[in-house]
């Protein structure tokens, strides 16, 4: 997925409740507290994008992939039946990706390693020169498919091969751009993306991604007519994706001994943020490996919103996020004095929509882990209002707490 696509998606979420500003600066998109110096050496834009991008992985020896262990609504790609029997096959063994595409479509490898763009015949010439008006872009070797921030509007499902995915769009609220309520104006560009679980595999990825990672697919069109003409074919291409060779499950090795309570602890380094003009608050963290032999961890983390020990009345309170992975491989550590959180199955995140409703003032967040650990995290403390970020207000909509994705 290109940086342009990610920025466009971030901006779309930031203005989910208002008309999208034209030419708005990136600052409209997201304000986070204590962005971790974790993605060391990265520029500020990459840090912001890392907050919202979701990344992917398929499982191998265990053929049924582990999707997000939360109560997430599932969705299937467009149901229009497309026969792919006579389609061509594209294979990238170096990045462990294979898919089918229609005859006549052009496939062009991009400058970025592991990325290819497909375009229909009418846009073949543009595909060879630059970005075509209609395109499907496949990119291998990303980070874990469940990203570090709340991808609002994302829905969860599985491909025919069993690979779990998150699907999201750049339309209103991040929803897939296929309805009157969520689609941009007919003459405006639209796009949707898949972040697909590609399991644990070191093939074609940088050393620091030698673990759970993703394949990302972006479907783009210059207007509503092009979207309607090609989206069914594009989603058939997505459904044909499969690994060339099997990968290990991204949830880790369940044959390992279960982790003891003294082998790990939950880490929250103060990482938090606000989207939708401060109406949605989120926080995230990871798990640190402490000692002992390799082990497998599956744990329910609970986040409670309370005031003076009394749970506040809001939907989803307390919220639960299930994490599962191997230690020490999936744990986080320190580098240069900062916590290194690169995503993974033991990365956790919660979101609180409409956190500033009346009656919720002075709330405190409490994170509880099954090893007896309890963290008091304080409450949301946004910065002062500015022309770019409005003050969070009670809009009369329900307040809701949830693990992410949800």
The predicted model gives 330-344 an average pLDDT of 80
Buried-state track 217-234, b at ≥16 Cβ within 10 A, e below 16: bbbbbbbbebbeebbebb
Residue 6 pLDDT class (50, 70, 90 cuts):
very low
> Would you call the peptide bond into 328 cis, given omega within 30 degrees of 0 as the criterion?
yes
| Residue 334 predicted with pLDDT over 90 | no
- Beta strand 280-289 with 264-267 is antiparallel
pTM of the model: 0.78
Tokens 């986040």 sit at which residue? Answer: 303
The predicted model gives 185-211 an average pLDDT of 80
Q: How many residues does the chain have?
A: 406
**Structure tokens that stand for 95 in this block:** 């990045």
CATH number for region 53-239: 3.40.1000.10
Strands (E), 55-132: 88-92, 97-101, 106-109, 115-119
The predicted model gives 351-374 an average pLDDT of 93
Closest Cα to residue 222, out of 146, 130, 285?
130
- pLDDT at residue 241 in the model: 97
CA–CA gap between residue 344 and residue 213 (Å, rounded): 8
The predicted model gives 257-275 an average pLDDT of 92
CATH 2.60.40 in the chain, residue ranges: 261-403
Local structure of residue 95 (DSSP, 8 states): G
CA–CA gap between residue 73 and residue 396 (Å, rounded): 24
pLDDT above 90: percentage of residues in the chain? 44
- pLDDT at residue 179 in the model: 58
Closest Cα to residue 194, out of 286, 89, 78, 275?
78
| Residue 56 predicted with pLDDT over 60 | no
CATH 3.40.1000.10 in the chain, residue ranges: 53-239
261-403 CATH fold: Immunoglobulin-like (2.60.40)
**Structure tokens that stand for 178 in this block:** 């296929």
Q: How far is CA 278 from the centre of its chain?
A: 19
Tokens 């916590």 sit at which residue? Answer: 339
């Amino acid at each position: 997925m290109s940086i342009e696509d990610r920025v466009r998606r971030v901006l779309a979420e930031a203005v989910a409740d208002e008309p999208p500003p034209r030419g708005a600066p990136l600052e409209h998109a997201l304000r986070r507290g204590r962005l971790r110096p974790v993605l060391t050496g990265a520029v500020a834009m990459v840090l912001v994008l890392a907050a919202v991008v979701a990344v992917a992985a398929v499982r191998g020896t265990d053929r049924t992939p582990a999707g997000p262990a939360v109560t997430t609504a599932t969705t299937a790609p467009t149901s229009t039946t497309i026969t792919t029997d006579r389609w061509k096959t594209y294979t990238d063994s170096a990045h462990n990706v294979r898919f089918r595409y229609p005859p006549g479509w052009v496939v062009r490898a991009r400058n970025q390693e592991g990325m290819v763009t497909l375009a229909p015949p009418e846009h073949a010439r543009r595909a060879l020169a630059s970005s075509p008006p209609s395109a499907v872009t496949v990119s291998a070797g990303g980070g874990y498919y469940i990203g570090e921030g709340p991808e609002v509007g994302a829905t969860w499902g599985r491909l025919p091969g069993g690979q779990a995915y998150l699907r999201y769009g750049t339309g209103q609220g991040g929803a897939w751009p296929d309805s009157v309520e969520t689609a941009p104006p007919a003459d405006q560009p639209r796009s949707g993306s898949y972040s697909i679980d590609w399991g644990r595999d070191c093939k074609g990825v940088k050393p620091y991604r030698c673990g759970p990672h993703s394949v990302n697919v972006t479907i783009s069109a210059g207007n509503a007519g092009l979207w309607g003409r090609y989206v069914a074919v594009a989603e058939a291409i997505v459904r044909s994706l499969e690994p060339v060779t099997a990968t290990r499950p991204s949830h880790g090795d369940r044959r390992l001994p279960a982790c003891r309570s003294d082998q790990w602890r939950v880490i929250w380094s103060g990482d938090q943020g606000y989207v939708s003009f401060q109406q949605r608050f989120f926080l995230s963290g990871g798990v640190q490996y402490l000692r002992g032999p390799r082990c497998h961890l599956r744990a329910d983390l609970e986040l409670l919103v309370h005031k003076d020990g009394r749970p506040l009345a809001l939907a989803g309170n307390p919220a639960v996020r299930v994490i599962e992975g191997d230690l020490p491989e999936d744990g986080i550590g320190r580098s240069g004095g900062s916590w290194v959180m690169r995503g993974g199955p033991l990365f956790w995140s919660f979101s609180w929509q409409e956190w500033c409703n009346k009656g919720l003032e002075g709330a405190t967040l409490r994170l509880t882990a099954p090893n007896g650990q309890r963290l008091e995290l304080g409450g949301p403390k946004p910065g002062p209002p500015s022309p770019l970020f409005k003050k969070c207000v009670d809009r009369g909509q329900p307040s809701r707490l949830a693990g992410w994705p949800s």
